[in-house]
Amino acid sequence: MQSNLTVGNPLSLDRIRSVLVRLEDTIIFSLIERAQFVHNARMYQRGAFKELQDIGFNGSWLEWFLKETETFHAKARRYTRSVSPWSHHSIYPFFPSSPDEYPFSSDLPEPIIPPLSFPQILYPNKINVNPSILSFYTRTIVPRITRHATLLLAASKRAKGIVGDEEHEDDGNYGSAATIDIEILQAISKRVHYGKFVSESKFIQDPAAFIPHILKPNRPALEALITKPEVERKLLIRLQKKAETYAQDFASDGTIQLANGSVNGASKIDVAGVVELYESFIIPITKEVEVDYLLQRLVGLSDAEIDILAKKSGTSS
């Protein structure tokens, strides 16, 4: 999912909410697609493919796929850096000029066309939690959402006389599965790092509420300022309804096809797993990003500049 940061106010909370809601759709649809393939655990094991070792790559199949994909994207200026306008007093002389895009790979090439000039939106920072996202995705999400397909494959192999370890987890669709993995990872990454936009929006609305807790520093107090339990509750309800709806099959006339008198989405996606992904991982790690961003929000500012900000107060929403 793409968002145009050159149009409108990217720090409007209404706009941020719209982006986050659309990302829900992207993540759910991609999870449904990934669930059609089995676990293919070999894809996530470093050194499992001799072919990669032969070309000098020692990571996993997915890590190689990410590197190759993001190398192309970097050349097309998806991931670029600009000189910070605060470089004269900031420890961050560079910041992403695509502030909602964060690669999983390092040492990417420069773009072959001139970078776009984005308005300065976020305060310079070094926060990138993609390593945590990649680890959680491969260790927890993939095994859960592919469980149904993996069990079906095992039953099919047993029917052919293949039993034991050989009956599980691998259908050989490494390219197709990795392509979807990357779509999911990039969408989750954007969703999580968009927490920076939330923090910046709320900070500029009411700096006085945040600055004492940034200077102290007080993580629990900052988290309390950005946490809206009712918003989170409604989000999880919306996610469940979306996952249940998107996982259904529809007849040619648009009516829902039922299986045994009930909705038929269970075979497409683990609906509870989608909700748990948000509740147990995406929401908590987004809060970590939001708080980490706030804790870096005053870095490089003089005492006089901080005092001016501290006198500005408003109402957070």
- For 247-280, what is each residue's pLDDT tens digit? 888 778 877 776 555 555 555 889 999 999 999 9
Asked whether residue 8 is domain-assigned, the answer is no
Asked whether residue 264 is domain-assigned, the answer is yes
For the chain, give the mean pLDDT.
88
Asked whether residue 235 is domain-assigned, the answer is yes
Task: Give the pLDDT confidence of 162-171 residue by residue, as tens digits.
Answer: 888 776 778 9
Asked whether residue 317 is domain-assigned, the answer is no
Q: Check if the beta carbon of residue 122 is closer than 8 Å to that of residue 200.
A: yes
**For residue 293, what are its two tokens?**
């961003």
Task: Indicate the number of domains in the chain.
Answer: 1
pLDDT at 87 over 70: no
* Cα 169 to Cα 305: distance, rounded to the nearest angstrom: 57
Closest by Cα among 144, 161, 186 to 38: 144
Sign of CA dihedral 14, 188, 121, 8: negative
Q: Check if the beta carbon of residue 81 is closer than 8 Å to that of residue 96.
A: yes
Residues above pLDDT 90, as percent of the chain: 68
Q: In which domain, by residue range, is 222 found?
A: 13-310
Residues β-bridged to residue 81: 96
Helix and strand totals (H; E) in the chain: 14, 4
pLDDT of residue 90: 44
Asked whether residue 194 is domain-assigned, the answer is yes
Q: What is the pTM of this model?
A: 0.89
Asked whether residue 279 is domain-assigned, the answer is yes
Asked whether residue 5 is domain-assigned, the answer is no
Asked whether residue 265 is domain-assigned, the answer is yes
Task: Give the pLDDT confidence of 284-315 residue by residue, as tens digits.
Answer: 999 999 999 999 999 999 999 999 999 988 75
**CATH classification at residue 163:** 1.10.590.10
pLDDT of residue 30: 97
Cα-based angle 20, 24, 25 (whole degrees, multiple of 5): 125
